[in-house]
């Protein structure tokens, strides 16, 4: 009976070793039948250079004195963001011409503006849909890992209870005091070890790749975005479109992520994982990514409010005599 303690202890270390090997196992994302390009657009869109916003917003405001008589500075910058600033100026000139040709010109210009704004509203919906899809994809993988890890925790808890019960029964059944102590101590060690694994489980991980990372440009702030249209990127990087008008939306989004989601733990490996091509994620990292995507989606959808105000102003100008 005196050899029972080392046998139990060896069993404990075997359990820890097996558990560690299981924790190190990485699930391939293809097992879930969700490819890395699952949410990406089917084809790239070529943007008309005619409608690309002018970079210098202060210059736009300074040179839009005629427009400033009809709309706010915010809507002048929306004219620039949407790329119809030149058409707005043409529209004001056409309104001063009462001839038939002038009215036809006004109608043609208004139609061009409306058609282009309709296209931009689909851009907003399209990128919001992609962000929603990416958030769902991250949640799908995270929940998949959570289910695996919860089952593992349940098995470890059950094993801990069984081993503790068996050790108690064995200790009662043995009359030798030294043997009873050995059995009780060994059973307690194994049960405690299993309990530790349930308190702080490493959990399985998953290979999660995102070749088109919709968060990358938000973090690195390139001059020209490879993901977002010139219209959306101008609004995200122009400080006049933020509530404070002191820093652009892209910087306030980053600040919120750092404070609330990333907990200021921004080493190079985390940056590469979240904001570049991806890699090996655990469930918590996937939940974090999903939250960041959902928050950013709300920012994108809020651009519709700017569009609504701009279109209302445009309709008012058109209807004025």
What is the Cα–Cα distance from 218 to 248, expressed in whole angstroms?
Answer: 11
pTM over 0.85: no
Nearest-angstrom CA–CA distance, 110 and 306 = 19
Residue from 66, 22, 11 nearest 203 by CA: 22
User: In sequence order, what are the residues at sequence separation of 6 or more whose Cβ sits closer than 8 angstroms to the Cβ of residue 225?
Assistant: 217, 232, 233
**Count: domains in the chain:** 1
Q: Is residue 86 in a domain?
A: no
- In DSSP terms, 206 is beta-bridged to 27, 281
For 236, the domain range is 4-47+119-319
pLDDT at 33: 52
Rounded Cα–Cα distance for residues 119 and 140 (Å): 31
- Residue 288 in any domain: the answer is yes
pLDDT score, position 148: 86
DSSP bridge pairs for 205: 26
The C-alpha atoms of residue 115 and residue 136 are separated, in whole angstroms, by: 32
Does residue 263 sit within a domain?
yes
Series of mean pLDDT values for 10-residue runs along the chain (321 residues) = 46 44 55 68 82 95 94 97 97 92 94 96 96 94 86 50 51 53 50 46 80 95 94 96 93 93 82 94 94 96 96 91 72
Q: 37 lies in a domain?
A: yes
Q: Give the pLDDT score at 195.
A: 47
Residue 98 counted as domain residue: no
């Amino acid at each position: 009976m005196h050899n029972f303690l080392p046998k139990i202890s060896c069993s404990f270390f075997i359990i820890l070793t097996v558990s560690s090997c299981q924790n190190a196992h990485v699930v391939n994302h293809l097992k879930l039948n969700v490819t890395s390009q699952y949410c990406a657009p089917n084809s790239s869109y070529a943007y008309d250079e005619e409608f690309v916003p002018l970079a210098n917003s202060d210059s736009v405001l300074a040179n839009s004195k005629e427009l400033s008589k009809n709309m706010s500075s915010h809507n002048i910058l929306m004219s620039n963001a949407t790329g119809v600033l030149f058409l707005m100026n043409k529209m004001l000139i056409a309104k001063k011409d009462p001839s038939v040709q002038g009215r036809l010109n006004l109608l043609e210009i208004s139609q061009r503006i409306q058609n282009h704004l309709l296209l931009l509203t689909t851009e907003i919906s399209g990128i919001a849909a992609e962000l929603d899809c990416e958030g769902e994809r991250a949640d799908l993988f995270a929940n998949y890992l959570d289910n695996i890890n919860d089952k593992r925790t349940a098995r470890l808890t059950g094993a801990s209870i069984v081993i503790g019960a068996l050790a108690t029964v064995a200790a009662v059944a043995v009359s030798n005091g030294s043997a009873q102590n050995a059995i009780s101590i060994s059973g307690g060690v194994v049960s405690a070890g299993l309990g530790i694994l349930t308190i702080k489980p490493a959990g399985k991980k998953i290979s999660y790749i995102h070749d088109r990372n919709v968060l990358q440009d938000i973090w690195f702030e390139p001059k020209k975005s490879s993901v977002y249209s010139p219209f959306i990127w101008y609004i995200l990087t122009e400080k006049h479109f933020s509530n404070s008008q002191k820093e652009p939306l892209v910087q306030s989004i980053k600040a919120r992520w750092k404070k609330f989601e990333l907990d200021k733990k921004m080493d190079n490996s985390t940056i590469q994982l979240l904001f570049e091509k991806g890699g090996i994620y655990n469930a918590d990292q996937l939940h974090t990514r999903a939250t960041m995507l959902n928050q950013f989606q709300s920012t994108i959808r809020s651009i519709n409010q700017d569009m609504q105000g701009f279109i209302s102003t445009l309709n008012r100008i058109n209807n004025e005599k």
